[in-house]
Structures are given as structure tokens and as C-alpha cells.
Amino acid sequence: MRTLTIEPLTQSAFAPFGDVIESAGRDFFMINNGSTRRYHRLSKVETAAAEDEVLISIFRAQALPRPLPIAMLERHPLGSQAFMPLHGKPFLIVVAPIGEEPQPGQIHAFISNGRQGVNYRRGVWHHPVLSIAPEDDFLVIDRAGAGNNCDEHFFPEDQRVLLSLVDRGI
Ligand SMILES: NC(=O)N[C@@H](O)C(=O)O
Ligand code: NI
């Protein structure tokens, strides 16, 4: 089983899948009479219909056993989905490009430094949130409305890739 290389999360590397939400290295302008930096328009929420709602939620995620065979990926065809870690803890992101089905050879893994979130573009294949800490909280911004907004794809065992942090001692 192929072990995924875990890449540092950068906007350029993640660009095919969406945006990295972070302040480091980003432009800002001052607001609130000079007391606040606004890191403006780091990403945007995508929805499918004018009547769609945009939700703000908190996900409290438990870490999955590792090494983790990637048995499935999901996508949200009708809206984007953003995850921002709330406690500054690194977490993992596993994605594959937009397409009818995710291709095992096109699965990428990234690690957030805990000060970075992600916003998955509509239709990007991704694994459900992957905490590294035993438990972690994420602010989640995504779309609600009519229609099915979650397609799941399950890989046969011989097409699964492995997500491991063993070489990082985690
Ligand atoms: N099911 C759900 O809302 N969560 C997933 O979409 C996820 O990406 O974690
Ligand atoms: Ni999702």
C-alpha cells in the first residue's frame, strides 16, 4: 500500500483544491481606527443556489487510528467547506482533484501548522476532518440547502493509500 507523502500546506501547493486560510505572509489593511489588521478575502464561500444558506459550525473531532488507510473520500458538489483549527494544533488534510471519481494516484496529503485552515472548493474530494491531537475543535463554514451535498467514494482495498505520521514520530 502506497504511503502518502505529507506536504507542508502552502497556497501554491493547495491551489488546485481550494484556499489556505492564514495571516502569515498575506496582505492586510488597517481597520477600527488603526487597531486591527484585516486580512481581507482570504477565500470565499461557494454555494449553488441563491436560496442556499451559509452555516458556521464547530466540529469537535476525535483522532482516527494511525496509520490510516484512506478507505474513502467525499465531496460537496453544491458548496465549499472551510475548516479553521481553533486551538492552534496541527491537523491533516487529504484531498484529490475535482472529477467524477477520485483517482488513488492523485490523492495528496498536507499538514497544517495549526495556524492555517483550508477552504475546499466545491466538488473537491477530501477525507472527513483529520485531527492529529486526540481531540480538536474546528470552526467550519459550509453550505446548507436543497439537494444532496455529500457524495462519498469508497476505494477497494487494493486502491487504498496509507496516511502515516510514523516518520514524524507522531
Ligand atoms: N459530514 C460533515 O459535515 N463533515 C465532512 O464534510 C468533513 O469534511 O469533515
Ligand atoms: Ni466535507
In short, whether 128's Cβ falls inside 6 Å of ligand 1 is yes
Instruction: State pLDDT tens for residues 86-99.
Output: 999 999 999 999 99
Q: Is the ipTM of this complex over 0.90?
A: yes
Q: Which CATH class is domain 3-168?
A: mainly beta
Instruction: State pLDDT tens for residues 116-146.
Output: 999 999 999 999 999 999 999 999 999 999 9
What spacing in Å lies between the alpha carbon of 127 and ligand 2's midpoint? 7
Q: Which ligand is nearest to the CA of 59?
A: 1
CA-nearest residue for atom 9, ligand 1, is 128
Instruction: State pLDDT tens for residues 24-66.
Output: 999 999 999 999 999 999 999 999 999 999 999 999 999 999 9
- Every domain of the chain and the residues it spans: 3-168
In short, whether 129's Cβ falls inside 6 Å of ligand 1 is yes
Grid coordinates in use for 87?
486551538
